[in-house]
Amino acid sequence: MIEELSHEQILRYSRHLLMPEVGLQGQIKLKNSSALVIGTGGLGSPVALYLAAAGIGRIGLVDYDIVDSSNLQRQVIHGTSTVGKLKVESGRDRLQDLNPDIQVDIYNEPYTSENALRIAKDYDIIIDGTDNFPTRYLTNDVCVMLGKPNIYGSIFRFDGQVSVFHAEKGPCYRCLFPEPPPPGLVPSCAEGGVLGILPGTVGTLQATEALKVLLGIGEPLIGKLLLYNALDMSFDFVQLKKNPKCRVCGPNADIKELIDYEEFCGVPGHHADDTSAGADWDISPLEMKTRLERDPGLILLDVREPHELEIASIKGAKNIPLGEVAQRMAELDSAKDMVVFCKRGSRSARAIEILSSAGFKKMKNLKGGINAWAEEVDKSLPLY
The catalytic residue positions are: 189, 342
Q: Distance (Å, rounded) from C-alpha 136 to C-alpha 326?
A: 30
- Position 295: which residue type? D
Is the backbone of residue 84 left (phi > 0), alpha (psi -120 to 50) or beta? left
- Backbone dihedral angles phi then psi of residue 88, each to the nearest 5 degrees: -65, -35
216: closest CA among 60, 26, 55?
26
- Specify the pairing of strand 103-107 against strand 58-62: parallel
The secondary element (H helix, E strand) that includes residue 225 is strand 224-229
Cα dist from 360 to 68, 320, 326, whole Å: 37, 16, 12
Q: In what order do the strands lie in the sheet with 234-239?
A: 103-107, 58-62, 34-38, 125-128, 150-156, 159-165, 224-229, 234-239
- Specify the pairing of strand 125-128 against strand 338-341: unpaired
Q: Distance (Å, rounded) from C-alpha 180 to C-alpha 177?
A: 7
369 three-state secondary structure:
helix
- Specify the pairing of strand 150-156 against strand 159-165: antiparallel
Angle at 258 (CA atoms; ends 252, 262), nearest 5 degrees? 115
310 three-state secondary structure:
helix
Q: Distance (Å, rounded) from C-alpha 297 to C-alpha 330?
A: 18
* C-alpha count within 13 angstroms, C-beta hemisphere, residue 326: 5
* C-alpha count within 13 angstroms, C-beta hemisphere, residue 346: 17
Q: Say if residues 147 and 168 touch (Cβ distance below 8 Å).
A: yes
324 three-state secondary structure:
helix
